[in-house]
Structure 1
Amino acid sequence: MHIELGGKTALVTGSTGGIGKAIATGLAAAGARVAINGRGAERVAAAIEAIGARCPGAELIAAPGDIGTADGVAAVVAALPAVDILVNNAGIFAPQGFFDIPDSEWTRFFEVNVLSGVRLARAYMPGMLAANWGRIVFISSESALHIPAEMIHYGVSKTAQLAVSRGLAELTAGTGVTVNSVLPGPTRSDGVEDFLTAMAGGGGGGIDDIAAGFVKQLRPTSLLQRFATVEEVANMVVYACSKQASATNGAALRVEGGIVRTIA
């Protein structure tokens, strides 16, 4: 199967590193014009340079802005009024005991992980429906199904993304627009080393050993038995954004290595 997205414009939020950068690279390789988003212009420029080196001739545009705020979303939409593909990838996570999570952190996680995608879909989806073609993908997590005790607020925000995604998909009936969510499992993305070190409590050992211990102790049902790569996750997202994925709508697509023990 050859995925070709020439003539399509995509916005990938939080695409200066990690899973987002891998998704942006995959979409660019498929011929899409890709807008790179991050909070700082310098990181956006660096990501564009790196992706351009991997995808010579790709059309990449800068779309800086803090999409965790209403003003930041408004700035991105003003600079990029219409897109064919929206990948709501930007998100935050942090291990924190439930009894130590203040209201301000619950609000911050909801603003970044949930409302950013709500606001962007509200801005871009009407144009997709009018054009009778579009793709919206929410990057959720297996934590949406298995709420992690070490970061309940994160899990709740990821469950909320599934609800928003499915609800928006219901609005696309009979059109060429699809809305899906993708659920990665543990992935070796930017920032994960700090997360793993924090989870290990500074107990020492190499990052590979800590990662293996994390999967064994906290995700023991994993069939993959390792962290996924960002490219493995991006492959699923690029497919969900493709023309070939026209019959995939309202779905929660799992790339979590078999952690979730279910046949459905």
Structure 2
Amino acid sequence: MHISLAGKTALVTGSTSGIGRGIAKGLAEAGARVILNGRSQSSLDAAAETLRQEVAGAQIIAVAADVGTAEGCESLVDAVGSVDILVNNAGIFALQDFFEIPDSEWQRFFEVNVMSGIRLARALTPGMIERNWGRVVFISSESALNIPDEMIHYGFTKTANLAVSRGLAKRLRGTKVTVNAVLPGPTLTEGVEELIASIAREQGRSEDEVKAGFVPEHRPSSILQRLASVEEVANMVVYVCSPQASATTGAALRVDGGTVDTIA
């Protein structure tokens, strides 16, 4: 199967590193014009230059905006105008005990992980409907279904992503705009690498040892029994954004290595 997104414009939020950057690279490799987004212009410029070096002929635009605020979302929409593909990837996570999470953190997680996608989808999908083609993807997590007790506020926002994506797909019934959620499992991003390094320091273990034991220890239900690569997650997103995925909408597509113990 050859996926071509030539002539399409894709916006990937939170795309200077991690899964977002992997998605941006995959979409660029498929021929899409890709708009990178993050809060730091210097980080965006560096990511854009790296992608241009990695993907021959890549069309990359970098737009700085804090999508964790209504003002940031508005400025991003003003800058991009219209897109064919929206990947709501921007997100934050942190290990924190439920009894130590203040209201402000619940609100911050909600604004970044949930409201950013809502605001951008509300602004950008009408244009997709008018042009009779579009793809909207919310990057959720296996934590949406398998709520981690060490970061309940994160799991809560990822469950909200599923509700919004399913509801929006139903709202767009009969159009040629699909809306789906992708649920990665434990993935070896820069953030997870930092977490592994922190655990290794705290426990006096090597990083390789912590990495090898991370999934068996923290997600024992995993069938894969290892961290997924960023590319493995990005591959699913690129497919969902493709013309070939035209009959897939309202779905929660797992790239979780079998962590969620269900066949549905």
TM range (shorter): over 0.9
Moved more, 169-178 or 138-147: 169-178
Cα distance in 1 for partners of 2:179, 2:209 equals 37
Q: Alignment partner of 1:180: what SS? A: strand
Alignment map for 1:172-187 (pairs within 5 Å): 172-187=172-187
Structure 1 stretches lacking a partner, 5+ long = none
CA contact (8 A) 1:133 1:177 kept: yes
Could you give the per-residue CA deviations for residues 46-103 of structure 1, whole angstroms, max 9, x where no partner exists?
Answer: 0110111111111111111111111111111111110000000010000000000000
Q: 1:214 Cα shift?
A: 2.3
Q: 1:242 Cα shift?
A: 0.3
Cα distance in 1 for partners of 2:143, 2:196 equals 16
Q: Counterpart of 1:129? A: 129
CA contact (8 A) 2:228 2:257 kept: yes
**What percentage of residue pairs aligned between the two structures are identical?**
65
Give the residue type in structure 1 aligned to 2:255: V
Aligned length: 264
Q: Counterpart of 2:255? A: 255
Give the residue type in structure 1 aligned to 2:72: G
Could you give the per-residue CA deviations for residues 147-168 of structure 1, whole angstroms, max 9, x where no partner exists?
Answer: 0011000000000000000010
With the length of structure 2 as denominator, give the TM-score of the two structures: 0.98
Cα distance in 1 for partners of 2:31, 2:149 equals 41
Does structure 1 residue 12 correspond to structure 2 residue 1? no
CA contact (8 A) 2:200 2:206 kept: no
With the length of structure 1 as denominator, give the TM-score of the two structures: 0.98
Q: 1:211 Cα shift?
A: 2.4
Cα distance in 1 for partners of 2:26, 2:177 equals 20
Moved more, 188-197 or 231-240: 188-197
CA contact (8 A) 1:138 1:180 kept: yes
Does structure 1 residue 34 correspond to structure 2 residue 63? no
Alignment root-mean-square deviation, CA: 1.1
Cα distance in 2 for partners of 1:206, 1:136 equals 40
- Residues 1:201 and 1:207: Cα distance change in structure 2 (over 3 Å): closer
CA contact (8 A) 1:185 1:257 kept: yes
Q: Counterpart of 2:156? A: 156
Moved more, 191-200 or 128-137: 191-200
